[in-house]
Structure 1
Amino acid sequence: MPVHAPLNDTETLESFGERLQYLARHQPRKLALVDEQGSLTWGELVARSNRIANRLRAAGLEAGDTVAGLSENSADYVALFLGTLTAGGCMVPLSGMASGETLALMINDCDTRFLFVSRRNQALLEQCRAQLQRVPPENRIGLGFRPADSDQDLDDWLADTPATTAPAPVTLDDAFNIIYSSGTTGTPKGILHDYRFRARQIRRMTTYGLDRDCINLVSTPLYSNTTLVSVLPTLFNGGTLVLMAKFDARRFLELAEHHRVSHAMLVPVQYQRILADPEFDRFDLSSFQLKLSTSAPLRAAVISDAMARWPGNLREVYGLTEGGISTSLDCAAHPDKWDTVGRPTEGSEVRIIDDQGRELPVGRTGEIVGRAGAMMRGYYNREEQTREMLWRSPEGLVFYRSGDMGRLDQDGFLTILDRRKDMIISGGFNIYAVDLEKILLGHPDVADVAVIGVPSEQWGETPLGLVEMRPGAATSEAELLDWANQRLGKAQRLSAIEFREQLPRSTIGKVLKRELKEPYWR
């Protein structure tokens, strides 16, 4: 069910496979990537990707077939992704944060017959091996180790496979990748992107400098669209990737200085931890041209700190893995808009609707819907759930529902307030957690905070503040509660404050509010 917003009627496609062969011919000795094990030139990376493509075909991969990978960031994982595309396959990067049961559900759901797993994820493979329905043992390949039931690591499997190949022909409508949404129960939804989605996204991100000359430091996992948004244009344009298998703020700074990094896509919690490093100011970060931020709104105070102390511009990007919504904030150009996530990018449109699906005027709060050049083909094998995500405008245009609450200002800048499902309704009043969180973050002893709704006999639900305090803070829970409530409206007041050593987060830094709320709603 493709619902792309058309940009023009004359789009052409250069496939990743074709582009890789071009890069191998024209810049074989240029550095392609660096990981914890070493480095590869473009000639070496493309040769390894071609060998993987040839071996997948020999093992029966046909055009459009899926290939699943479960690995931390590494050169071999990038080569697997590129080899799958070169062979005409559809890559399915899987999350190492999933349980064995959920992992098996995703592997079976995407219909793959190929599974590549790194040594770090060996235990997860053991948990789900018995539940795998379609992946035969000979197609379970280890990245750096030999799985117990296949006795093949990647090098064994490749053997003497040739390093040259003819890339499979593809069209704009062919499957590129499937990314699974985060989910704690049942099977997460598989978000299917086609070549049109990625081609349009690559074109847009190239304008941000992710080109042949960029050196991109990658510290979020490849199963996240956050990561692929910056990795794919870097690869397509022949730039250089510096891969971190696991994020660490000090190591990020060391790598950035050593490799003269020019670009990085980070999530808000990473900015906080990097800027909080006591040695931050001694590192030479003068090579940075642009930092990108996504996955959650970046707080204005953090933007201010980064713009003051970290060379290069900062651009905030808001969108869905599904596509459809795309806004961007150029922080240098709009210092008065740091509380927003910017304006719709070229070819994109954002509107605000109420609970009945009626469009709301500027300044009113409702659900954010959008349409853009890059829109998923749909949730894999889930047409009904795909339809549920759609909103049709009075003109008959198809928009995607975001599930986020927000508002547009007179200048077209978008402010995000909360997830619709996380909005707190207390005594009939709508309370947006972000408004309360901003107040609490204004206290000098508060390092981070999440406000959630908890049951209340009197009000139905009521806001609770869960707070990480700064080291050495002396403020008590009662003192902080009183301080915050003096600054909040009567209908917004917090019922309580609870201190937490650390708020639970996903691997890309999102606070897991569902996990925080669960104990209170049992």
Structure 2
Amino acid sequence: MLKITPSMPENPPQETVVAAVRRVAQVHPDRDAVVCDGTRLSWAAFDRSINQAANMLIARGVTRGDRVAVLSPNSAAYAVLFMGILRAGGCVVPLSTMASTEALEKMVQDCGARVICLAQTYRELVPFVDAMEITRIALDFDAEGFESYPAAMEAADTTDPMVPVAMEDGFNLIYSSGTTGTPKGILHTHFLRAAQMDRVTANGYDDAARTLISTPLYSNTTIVAFLPTLVGGSTVILMSKFDAQGWLALADADAEAATHTMLVPVQYKRIVELPVFADYNLSALRLKLSTSAPLRADVKQKVLAQMPGKLVEYYGLTEGGGVTVLIADENPTKLHTVGMPAPGCDIRLIGPDGGEVAPGEVGEICGRSPTMMAGYYGRDDLTEETLWRNADGEVYFRSGDMGSFDDDGFLVLSDRKKDMIISGGLNIYANDLELILLADPEVTDAAVIGVPSEQWGETPLGLVVLREGAEATGDDIRARANEKLGKSHRLSAVEVRDVLPRSSIGKILKKDLRAAYWP
């Protein structure tokens, strides 16, 4: 595998997340560790369950470095399994519940998972596992060919297996949510996750925090709030599914009294615009985090005006590298930016020639830090495409996003280099949807762009040119395409055009297409 050497922090981490969770479990055994949908696990019970999950997996052949896949909504069982896989020495593969069956099959095959743990809700998404040489564990249902998770846990040893874990070992494998080709598996190491724990004390996760999380555990957005809360010995409050009023009801000071939360931009918008927002008491909130998509300046202003506590926006990649941080409440004149490079992060802006652009100019954002993926799993070729090296040969990750630094060193995002659409905090690659449209026998040319959406922030719109004599409407094309796409990728509409604008070298001018939809 291609070797990527991250930069070293001033104080390199000495303790893995696995060791830290093992240690803090002894500090406040009676404090809530995980709360979800009526299930409440104390730290003593959580630690015991992690041991059972680890021993259950070891008994089924999981050894150090083996991949274990999970397809489930957020639940207390998922939180236990996540940490149990790690304690067994395994690598967590949290599968997207929004991916198509085709994409999920490729993910499971690509990672070579030894075990898959599955919830009933998503059983129909993975019919292919029935024919695979893989151990199948049913979290909440009974079926032939599946082992019962509750029964397996009940029979498992409760003592800590004490499997050695090294910083260079794989921690998790997060797949891009592609619909065609083989999705890319982003491999994070224990070192990367340990290095991220520098935010535990800085963000108050070790001060009896109660972190309300409503994004799914397969998302890096969730994991970067989930893990620091656990390492801090505090409490994770999981929502199995987000709804704005449900979030308010849990966050209320007379309910779970959330002190911390991680939300994506569309969730903030829905919460602050809810007519009953003022009926809830959010006085316990100390820190609100946002990431995965740019939080618009007007939404930041509403959040600052209506919700107590600090508001911090992170910009970065699941792959790692450069991270910027905007402490919005301390920088009211910089709400149009995504902040300044985080400590230990080096961000450079490069032009089409691969050289750094002049100060103030727009360039592709490249970053280097202690938190960098090991690479795309089994795909050195794709990994190499994401790299940029400075004059000293140091490796940076290319983001595919364009931006510039203002005079104060704050990063301002501009047009995306990649044709990626961020809908509800989830990444959608336009090329994947275009290939589906072009496979339609009545379509001769196609483009997909992101257009504004009140519900999702932005949503994919298909623009097609039909073959001569074709009788299909845009709605017909959309319906046929959406039958082949996972829920999060579905086209909101398809419009028929006579021609798509192209450059002199034949590239579709998506900036021109977007102009009609974005103010």
How would you bin the TM-score normalised by the shorter chain? 0.7 to 0.9
Could you say which residue in structure 1 is the equivalent of 2:375? 378
2:260 is aligned with 1:288: no
Q: Give the drift of 1:153.
A: 1.7
Deviation at 1:58, TM superposition (A): 1.4
Q: Distance in 1 between matches of 2:138 and 2:387?
A: 40
The 2-side partners of 1:266 and 1:519 are apart by 36
Distance 1:175 1:519 in 2: 46
Which residue of structure 1 lines up, in the alignment, with residue 258 of structure 2? 261
TM-score scaled to structure 1, two decimals?
0.80
Deviation at 1:515, TM superposition (A): 7.3
Matches for 1:145-160 after TM superposition, within 5 Å: 145-150=141-146, 152-160=147-155
1:462 and 1:73, CA in 2 relative to 1: closer, same or farther beyond 3 A? Answer: closer
Q: Which moved more, 1:353-362 or 1:205-214?
A: 205-214
Question: Which residue type is aligned with residue 221 of structure 1?
Answer: P
2:55 aligned partner: 54
Summarize the Cα distance change of 1:206–1:179 in structure 2 as closer, same or farther, 3 Å threshold. farther
After TM superposition, give the deviation of residue 100 of structure 1 in Å. Answer: 1.4
The equivalent of 1:481 in structure 2 is none
Question: 1:130 & 1:46 partners in 2: Cα distance?
Answer: 32
Contact 2:103 2:177 in 1 (8 A): no
State, as a whole percentage, how many aligned pairs show the same letter: 43
Counterparts of 1:381-396 in structure 2, within 5 Å, are 381-396=378-393
SS at structure 2 position matched to 1:22 = helix
Any stretches of 5+ residues in structure 2 without a counterpart?
Answer: 423-427, 435-444, 456-486, 501-507, 509-519
Structure 1 partner of 2:17: 16
- Counterpart of 1:330 in structure 2 is 327
Q: CA deviation at 1:252?
A: 0.2
Measured against aligned partners, the alpha-carbon deviations of 1:375-429 in whole angstroms (never above 9, x if no partner) come to: 0000000011111110011232211000111111121111111321349xxxxxx
The question of 1:7 aligning with 2:8 is answered: yes
> 2:81 matched to which residue of 1?
80
Indicate yes or no: 2:364 matched with 1:364: no
The count of residues paired between Structure 1 and Structure 2 equals 449
The aligned counterpart of 1:96 is 97
Measured in 1, the distance between the counterparts of 2:158 and 2:454 equals 54
Which segment drifts farther, 321-330 or 14-23? Answer: 14-23
Contact 1:180–1:190 (8 Å) recurs in 2: yes
1:104 and 1:131 in contact (8 A); partners too:
no
Residue 268 of structure 1 and its aligned partner are, at CA, apart by 0.6
Q: Which residue of 1 is the match for residue 137 of structure 2?
A: 141
Distance 1:115 1:87, change over 3 A: same
Q: 1:149, 1:316 → 2: CA distance?
A: 45
User: What is the deviation of 1:119?
Assistant: 1.5
* 1:116 corresponds to: 117
Deviation string for 1:421-473 (max 9, x for gaps)?
349xxxxxxxxx99xxxxxxxxxxxxxxx9x999xxxxx99998945579xxx
Once the 2 structures are TM-superposed, how far is the Cα of residue 104 of structure 1 from its aligned partner?
1.1
Work out whether residues 31 and 240 of structure 1, in 8 Å CA contact, stay in contact via their aligned partners in 2: yes
- AA aligned to 1:149 is G
Change (3 A) 1:419 1:517: farther
Structure 1 segment 455-474 matched on structure 2, within 5 A: 466-468=451-453
- Alignment correspondent of 2:242: 247
Question: Counterpart of 1:174?
Answer: 169
Secondary structure of the 1:332 match is: helix
For 1:10 and 1:413, the matched residues in 2 are separated by: 26
Q: 1:314 to 1:84 in 2, by over 3 A?
A: same
Of 112-121 and 209-218, deviating more is 209-218
Partner SS, residue 227 of structure 1: helix
Return the alpha-carbon distance in structure 2 between the equivalents of residues 462 and 171 of structure 1: 45
State how far apart, in whole Å, the 2-side matches of 1:285 and 1:310 are.
7
1:162 pairs with one of 142, 150, 157:
157
Aligned AA (1:140): R
| CA–CA distance in structure 1, aligned partners of residues 57 and 35 of structure 2 | 25
SS in 2 for 1:384: helix
SS of equivalent residue, structure 2 residue 330: coil
> Structure 1 regions of 5+ residues with no counterpart?
424-432, 435-449, 455-459, 471-509
Displaced runs of 4 or more, over 4 A:
460-470, 510-522
1:149 is paired with a residue whose SS is coil
